Amino acid sequence: MGGYQDLSEFERGDIVGAREMGHSISEIAMKFGFSRTTILRVYREYRESGKTSNLRHHCGRKKIMQEWDQRRLTRIIKRDRRATLPHIAADFNAGPSTSVSV
């Protein structure tokens, strides 16, 4: 398993839930396979802020398609389920937004 920063929201919830149910740090470490330090950090973050969020989604490369582009692409695909990729790309590129290459 990865380190503290690599935990998914679900894994963090599992750790907090097990701790809230009264399990010890060592029991949780053996059950889920995380280090004791990782469990302590996740639970401390939960106690201090009241949430288990991981802010890693704010780093890295920016998204190529915006949310409205994704919705538009979904509508194009739903309109014609048998359309080929070049046809879908042409329909998408005919719109006012980001162009996509095939």
Query: pLDDT under 50 in the chain at which residues?
Result: 1
Largest CA distance in the chain: 58
Looking at residue 99, what is its pLDDT? 64
Tell me the domain boundaries of the chain: 9-58, 61-94
| Cβ neighbours for 15, distance < 8 A, ≥ 6 positions apart | 7, 28, 32, 34, 38, 39, 42, 43, 52
Looking at residue 3, what is its pLDDT? 61
DSSP H helical segments within the chain, as ranges? 9-20, 25-32, 36-49, 67-79, 85-93
Q: What is the pTM of this model?
A: 0.47
